[in-house]
A and B are shown apart, each in its own frame.
Chain A
């Protein structure tokens, strides 16, 4: 190593180099988990379907007035999944509904994990009376029946996607908070935290440079798991009639199916596809989440 190259590369370049190497290493390890790869493949597929929906089916697939088929037609070549009670192409509706379900699931999960992580880290770091108070609040939210609270919120506020996202986010954060707090306590008992304090690091430095990076793997794994919970929750809320009636989502399709009497009349094509779609996406996120967890878990990731 010559002196010239030693002085030209700045710390920022080093950080970039390190991040690239870390990402490459992560991908190499992730590849070894077959279940995770299946999950990832399924998610990529659904994401593509959702993103290209405006091109493949177009938004007018949800139009009731211009419905192309007759109501409740069974599957045929023209309509591979049949039609709904208004005569709309069910396959198109499932594709279109993926956008809402995935979006709501993602945003609600991000909100939930953000609240949970913030509370978990601060409660674990500061302790004292602040932690006691906030953990009791967490416990209170934990024992509240999620669905009941979500329903209550959705009823009080206007019926829109934002409400759904908020309702789910605000009721599912306690699990994350407890997990993150436990992990924070574990991290803070390690000697390198004492070293950081001895170097002169304050609260912000310790939380942002030491606790959060070590808690991130857990948070990331939690996010993927909560996304599947959120998608299911959104489907439930829509099924119960609390979603936005003007928007097509998988849960909404299930509700429509139930109202149209698809259960008793044996119109399986109305019920089964949205249900399977929900199940597959939830499963895919779970598989990914578990693979991410086992890759990022420091104890498993370090081979020595």
Chain B
């Protein structure tokens, strides 16, 4: 039995016009994704893969060029009034906590901002107190009049989370939520997110380049490359037995990884110049190493693009070689 997804993305394309006569950049080039209530999905990939754009289109901050976002059964309406109501149900936590807070606003103002925008009817102070407390800043009153520069990185991120939680959203989109924080502080913030999921049934989409973070807190993981999801599935499965060569390469270069590291050469490619065929074939170690030839799929790798994965539960991979049933 599968529960209906809380949010689902169908056939999403986001294309940015090229600058100075360059071809347009297809940041998100066909993505289907679903997130169920209470589920934490990690979206991993390198810079330029489109994960940040995808995350922002879930929030309605970036309108799609094609495809749609459906929340709780209703497609997203991009009129300003509908978007404003939507924002009470889906919230954002950004990477850099010192940039995310207006340096001139106190902690109280920062957390109460959401309430004031939406015209909160009840006791504002009580709501702020509860949000700060839930985010681990206790006693909350001590933080009311502080400014962001007087807090540590971890405390600032808790303020940002409190500001998001005060609206009681159902889904949080977190873009690298702990990347700017010290290592010993990260665990606390991640534990906070897990606690919010356990206590409030919060769902989350965590965008990150850190696979270890996905192992720590995510249920499912989706690996993106050049605007498409190339592999998705349960974290236990994808991170211990990856099927797509790109996922295999990413995992192999981690410090603790068993086996020889596969260091891909070159830079992550440009979304304005997506290669034909499988978009990863130009850097693929399986193609370069001859295994794709041996499996008889080399021609397909070079010429045939793969279809969009449906992004629901279950392990899926967009790779000719993996589908040919050859195991690593």
Contact = CB atoms under 8 A, between A and B. Distances in A.
Direct contact between A and B judged by beta carbons closer than 8 A:
yes
Interface of A: 1, 6-7, 9-11, 14, 17-18, 21, 190-192, 194-202, 205, 209-210, 213-214, 298, 302, 304
Contacts of A190: 99
B117 to A, nearest CB: 5
Interface stretch (B21-29, B37-45, B103-111, B191-199): B103-111
B309 to A, nearest CB: 27
Interface stretch (B89-97, B231-239, B250-258, B294-302): B89-97
Query: What DSSP secondary structure best describes chain A's contact surface?
Result: helix
Contacts, number: 85
B103 A200 contact: no
Contact of A199 (B99, B141, B167): B167
B184 interface: no
Nearest to B166: A199
A192 B129 contact: no
A17 B94 contact: no
Interface size class of B (residues with CB under 8 A): 35 or more
Contacts of A205: 117
Given A14-B108, A201-B113, A298-B103, A195 B160 contact: yes
A99 B87 CA distance: 54
Counting from the closest, the 9 A-B pairs by CB-CB distance are A200-B87, A198-B92, A191-B99, A199-B114, A200-B84, A302-B149, A192-B102, A213-B104, A191-B100
Interface of B: 59, 61, 80, 83-84, 87-88, 91-92, 94-96, 99-106, 108, 112-114, 117-118, 124-126, 129, 139, 141-142, 144-145, 149-150, 160, 163-164, 167
* Residue from A6, A198, A205 having most chain B Cβ neighbours under 10 A: A198
A234 to B, nearest CB: 34
Contacts of B61: 194, 197-198
Given A191-B99, A202-B80, A298 B163 contact: no
Contacts of B87: 198-200
* Residue from B88, B113, B129, B145 having most chain A Cβ neighbours under 10 A: B113
Contact of B125 (A10, A21, A298, A304): A10
B100 A199 contact: no
Contacts of A192: 99-102
A200 B117 contact: yes
B92 A194 contact: yes
Contacts of A9: 125
A196 to B, nearest CB: 7
Contacts of A1: 139, 141-142
A87 B236 CA distance: 99
Given A194-B61, A199-B163, A205-B117, 19 more contacts: A1-B142, A11-B112, A14-B106, A21-B145, A191-B94, A191-B95, A195-B92, A195-B94, A195-B100, A198-B91, A198-B92, A199-B164, A200-B83, A200-B114, A209-B102, A214-B104, A298-B103, A302-B103, A302-B149
